[in-house]
Structure 1
Amino acid sequence: MTEIISTTILLILIMDPLGNLPIFMTILKNLNAKRRRVIVIREMIIALFVMLIFLFLGEKILNILNLKTETVSISGGIILFLIAIKMIFPSEDNNGKTSNEEPFLVPLAIPLVAGPSLLATLMLLSHQYSQNISYLVGSLFIAWFVTIIILLLSSTFLKIFGAKGVNALERLMGLILIMLSTQMFLDGVRAWFYN
Structure 2
Amino acid sequence: MLDLFLSAFVTLFVVIDPPGCAPIYAGLVSGATTRQASAMALRACLIAAAILLLFALFGEQLLGALHIELNSFRIAGGIMLFVIALDMVFEKRTQRREERAEKIKATPEVEDVSVFPMAMPMIAGPGSIATIMLLMGRAQGTEQTVVILAALAAVLVLTLVALIAAKPLMKLLGIQVEAVITRLLGVLLAALAAQYVIDGVKAVLG
Q: Give, in whole Å, the separation in 2 of the partners of 1:105 and 1:67.
A: 29
Task: Indicate if the aligned counterparts of 1:58 and 1:127 stay in contact, CA closer than 8 A.
Answer: no
Secondary structure at the aligned position of 1:105 is classed as: helix
Residue matched to 1:113:
123
TM-score (norm 2): 0.89
TM-score (norm 1): 0.94
Runs of 5+ unmatched residues, structure 1: none
Task: Indicate if the aligned counterparts of 1:76 and 1:117 stay in contact, CA closer than 8 A.
Answer: yes
Aligned positions of 1:36-185 closer than 5 A: 36-91=37-92, 92-95=95-98, 96-97=101-102, 98-99=105-106, 100=108, 101-131=111-141, 132-185=144-197
The structure with the greater share of residues assigned to helix is 2
Task: Indicate if the aligned counterparts of 1:69 and 1:128 stay in contact, CA closer than 8 A.
Answer: no
Instruction: Say how many residue pairs are matched.
Output: 194
Task: Indicate if the aligned counterparts of 1:126 and 1:133 stay in contact, CA closer than 8 A.
Answer: yes
Task: Indicate if the aligned counterparts of 1:62 and 1:123 stay in contact, CA closer than 8 A.
Answer: no
Task: Indicate if the aligned counterparts of 1:81 and 1:177 stay in contact, CA closer than 8 A.
Answer: yes
Q: Give, in whole Å, the separation in 2 of the partners of 1:32 and 1:138.
A: 31
Q: Give, in whole Å, the separation in 2 of the partners of 1:122 and 1:142.
A: 13
Q: Percent identity?
A: 27
Dislocated runs of 4+, deviation >4 Å: none
Matching residue's letter, 2:179: N
Following superposition, the deviation at residue 22 of structure 1 comes to: 2.1
Q: Give, in whole Å, the separation in 2 of the partners of 1:143 and 1:103.
A: 20
